[in-house]
Structure 1
């Protein structure tokens, strides 16, 4: 697949040699006037404010009153991931947000499994079909790939992306993302995960040996 460029206008303004500038995207930075640059900056500033307002209205108070890390650990023992007790925004996701951006706004730095809000959140996705599921802390992201505890099963069945009704493929088609290759990679990853799960089963409470060990097809 190649990008469609025919509808993207060229700069067209004369260069020093008199030839038209062929850069795409309209008037380029080299040939914009001071007034045009100032107008672009003012537009960007206003657009940032507008988007911020839209996002705050969409989120409302849904990022408040969430379980703490300790409370989430108790929920985990009942087979409930932390995100399943979070409030869900009532309106549609703002159109300017991608699925991952919407997840970042809604999760507000909290891990979907354990509520941990320290450290960087990682994008979790289904290794078979490539769809983004949610954002997890490093610990939960590792455990999710190895564990079959009830809370992880519940998370996979109804991840944050499903809760927000958003969908995004992990990776980019412009980076050579290929469905068939993903399926083959997913099968290899599943085999590796099965082997690791057999090796590390029972090491921590997250990998409870008394939980069922059969893996879901969509892992």
Structure 2
């Protein structure tokens, strides 16, 4: 009889094989950071030229796990491979869009450049056909997936209001009109 550890290793190998089959050659031949800069100038996010797996994501993967496997440590906008990628999400719907480096995640919220518009219209989650609600830092979903659009909007607005209230005293110090002198 197999012990629990042997069964766990077998299951891990089985899942790895399923994921490798799903990914196929999709992570090969991706643009370099320099090539991604050229794409950006043409209004194309890096992930829009990546190969897409032929089948649906394996059922044992959450949407974020599927994004992590497919993106393989590369930012969806610039193809950089930093130590850490951030989970980007839509603040209106609460849905996860993809994984971005710190620079692109910051710029995404401030940019209306064509490549960011294209990324928002067709993010990696849409490309892979996966959907997941972004969780709040307090361990809850921003808006549950079964919430109506009105409930999502209200709940997301409450989170934004709470964040603004929390950081108001801090951010005011950085506004030019608040500076001493």
TM-score normalized by the length of structure 2: 0.79
Calculate the aligned-residue CA RMSD, in Å: 2.3
Gaps of 5+ in 1: 1-34, 191-198, 200-219
User: Could you tell me which residue of structure 2 aligns to residue 196 of structure 1?
Assistant: none
Aligned-residue offset at 1:128:
1.0
Q: Which has the larger radius of gyration?
A: 1
Match of 1:175, SS state, is: coil
Runs of 4+ aligned residues of structure 1 deviating over 6 Å after TM superposition are: 187-190
TM-score normalized by the length of structure 1: 0.66
Aligned-residue offset at 1:175:
3.2
Assess if the C-alpha contact under 8 Å between 1:127 and 1:189 holds in 2: no
User: Could you tell me which residue of structure 1 aligns to residue 92 of structure 2?
Assistant: 128
Q: Which moved more, 1:39-48 or 1:80-89?
A: 39-48
User: Could you tell me which residue of structure 1 aligns to residue 168 of structure 2?
Assistant: none
User: Could you tell me which residue of structure 2 aligns to residue 49 of structure 1?
Assistant: 13
Aligned-residue offset at 1:40:
1.3
User: Could you tell me which residue of structure 2 aligns to residue 161 of structure 1?
Assistant: 125
Q: What is the CA–CA distance in structure 2 between the aligned matches of 1:63 and 1:181, rounded to whole Å? A: 37
Assess if the C-alpha contact under 8 Å between 1:125 and 1:170 holds in 2: yes
Alignment of 1:67-216 (within 5 A): 67-171=31-135, 175-177=139-141, 178=143, 179=152, 180-186=154-160
Gaps of 5+ in 2: 144-151, 165-174, 176-181
Greater RCO, CA 8 A, separation 6+: 2
Change in Cα spacing, 1:176 to 1:114, as seen in structure 2 (3 Å) is closer
